[in-house]
Structure 1
Amino acid sequence: MTVDAHHHLWDLDVRDQPWITGERMSPLRRDFLPHDLAAALKGSTVDATVLVQTVSDPDETPEMLVLADTVDRIAAVVGWVDLTGRDVRERIGRLQSHPSGRWLRGIRHQVEDEPDPDWLLRPEVLNGLAAVEDAGLLYELLVRPHQLPAATKVVGQLPQLTFVLDHCAKPPIADGELEPWASRIRALAAHPNVVCKLSGLVTEDDWDRQPDPVRLRRYVDVVLEAFGPERLMFGSDWPVCLLAAEYGQVVRVARELTAGLDERARSAIFDGTAREVYRIPRVEPQNRG
């Protein structure tokens, strides 16, 4: 069994995805719906997935919760709330009390788009993160390398809150650089309340040169050493990954990059870690309604 800990769905007739701009991003400017997900997963060992928010829109998360009720493989949802809002606790409570609220496992915000590298350290954001912790949810860190120092301070201030680092903090693979990304990853990983997704790497390199495990290996080795298999989990980042690689290629590259690990370690990365973090049972219920 395999858990895909990171993918998206969207319907452009319901909501625009304003981050999809320019000719090179045009392959993503179409709908990606549950039947497209089913087609991508066909023939794979993936039996559970985590559906992750794409826009800062409070209406998106309830829609994703309903999808988790109706799409067999979706086993957890990571949604969005305005962490800076004074009513953040009430908004999280309304999501959890939604008829499909049992699927909500975490909250995420596109911190990568915030111009302030210390955005996570703002008092109002820290208050919002405390509300996420009090609700029993996790928080996903979507940050770039220059934002890792602030992220490291935040996870130290909230040791009881589980943080999930998306896409290994988007290392500069296309530039072939390791530092200062690698040192900052190690500093973040020193905090035991952080886990990391082995995801999003094919699109951090030159898309025309992917999928290429040789070009990714140095970066994967850093996160493997820093987090260990028990705090690392596979995610496809589908359909964004399609800019550089098909779904099956992303899975194969991830498995090739972890081929030197023993079976227990690989099982953690591709299954066990995500099930523990997102509270996903090993046998999906037959009746999801």
Structure 2
Amino acid sequence: MSRIDAHHHLWRTDQGYTWLDEPSLAPIRRDFTPADLSAELAANGIDRTVLVEGGRCDPGEAAILLAHALATPQIAGVVAWADPSDPALARTIAGYRGLPGGHLLVGIRSQVQGETDPGYLDRPAVRAGLAVIGSHGLAFDLVIQADQLPAAARCARALPAVRFVLDHLGKPPIRGSGFTSWAAGLVDLAACPNVTAKLSGLTTEADWGSWSVDELRPYVSKAFEVFGVDRLMFGSDWPVCTLAGGYRAWVAALRSMVPDEARDAVFGGVAARAYHLGLE
């Protein structure tokens, strides 16, 4: 069984990642390359990965990511950016698949977390685009805030043929209050059998310098309660996780929270199935 990291990024600062200009993100405002990734994987016993769009939000990024995947044996799949409401979405996906490395396209993501309209995922144009994504055999990554979980659940129920992957457990409010409302939203979304979720991005939702396993455990435990062993997967969210302890710290923390009998699924099997990686 391959050990799979289902969520990481690569970027160069001269390629349009303007969100890195936020002052607090100075530690990750540098290039992160396939060579850097390979070193992290080797140090942590991870065999394969899924490379996810990095918030640049334009179609040109796909060619860069697919080229990285083609040249980097550890990268088993790419989740590229596309706008689900774009009438030309099918043509965009076909264009991605025609690029070098296009056969490694396994999913699409857009930055839903940045949408101010709480009904964004209810829009007919968005749902039509998500159906197009599903019809092309691709998963759709839900990068959303905790208060968007109810809309995501409505969307997943309305589109049972689409495979949805929840990133970062819906960004729970670990640094504040709101566990109860986040958990209720997670329960609702997990009731949709076409949704899997990533155990990723939690350390950066906590205090970057002082988080603890005990602080994160209730969120991971709730995820296991509602999704079960067979719909949860490990993701590093590297290099963003370097803001809050780094790759090794998150792997160690998560391993301590995952039951022994669930490790093969969480650290490989679920990602292979969710993204149709062909690695099981």
| TM-score bin (small chain) | over 0.9
Is 1:277 the equivalent of 2:278? Answer: no
CA drift of 1:176 comes to: 4.7
**Residue correspondence of structure 1 range 124-203 to structure 2 within 5 A:** 124-203=125-204
* Corresponding residue of 2:47: 47
Local SS of the residue matching 1:105: strand
- Flag structure 1 segments of 5+ consecutive residues without an equivalent: 284-289
> What TM-score does the superposition give when structure 1 sets the normalisation length?
0.93
CA drift of 1:128 comes to: 0.9
Please give the alpha-carbon distance, in whole angstroms, between the structure 2 residues aligned to 1:44 and 1:218.
Answer: 25
**Residue correspondence of structure 1 range 53-64 to structure 2 within 5 A:** 53-54=53-54, 55-64=56-65
CA drift of 1:253 comes to: 0.5
* Corresponding residue of 1:286: none
CA drift of 1:126 comes to: 1.0
Letter in 1 for 2:189: L
Please give the alpha-carbon distance, in whole angstroms, between the structure 2 residues aligned to 1:64 and 1:76.
Answer: 10
| Runs of 4+ that moved beyond 3 A | none
Please give the alpha-carbon distance, in whole angstroms, between the structure 2 residues aligned to 1:16 and 1:99.
Answer: 21
Local SS of the residue matching 2:43: coil
Letter in 1 for 2:44: S
Please give the alpha-carbon distance, in whole angstroms, between the structure 1 residues aligned to 2:105 and 2:66.
Answer: 7
Please give the alpha-carbon distance, in whole angstroms, between the structure 2 residues aligned to 1:275 and 1:86.
Answer: 30
* Corresponding residue of 1:251: 251
* Corresponding residue of 1:267: 264
Local SS of the residue matching 2:20: coil
> What TM-score does the superposition give when structure 2 sets the normalisation length?
0.96
Letter in 1 for 2:6: A
Please give the alpha-carbon distance, in whole angstroms, between the structure 1 residues aligned to 2:226 and 2:21.
Answer: 34
Tell me the number of residue pairs that the alignment of Structure 1 and Structure 2 aligns: 278
Deviations 1:233-275 (A, max 9, x none): 00000000011011111100010111xx242x22100111011
CA drift of 1:177 comes to: 3.5
CA drift of 1:85 comes to: 1.4
* Corresponding residue of 2:35: 35
Local SS of the residue matching 2:237: coil
Local SS of the residue matching 1:77: strand
Local SS of the residue matching 2:187: helix
Letter in 1 for 2:263: R
CA contact 2:112–2:143 (8 Å) conserved in 1? yes
Local SS of the residue matching 1:171: coil
Letter in 2 for 1:183: A
* Corresponding residue of 1:120: 121
Please give the alpha-carbon distance, in whole angstroms, between the structure 2 residues aligned to 1:47 and 1:272.
Answer: 12
Letter in 2 for 1:280: L
* Corresponding residue of 2:82: 81
Deviations 1:121-157 (A, max 9, x none): 1111111111101111110000011111111110011
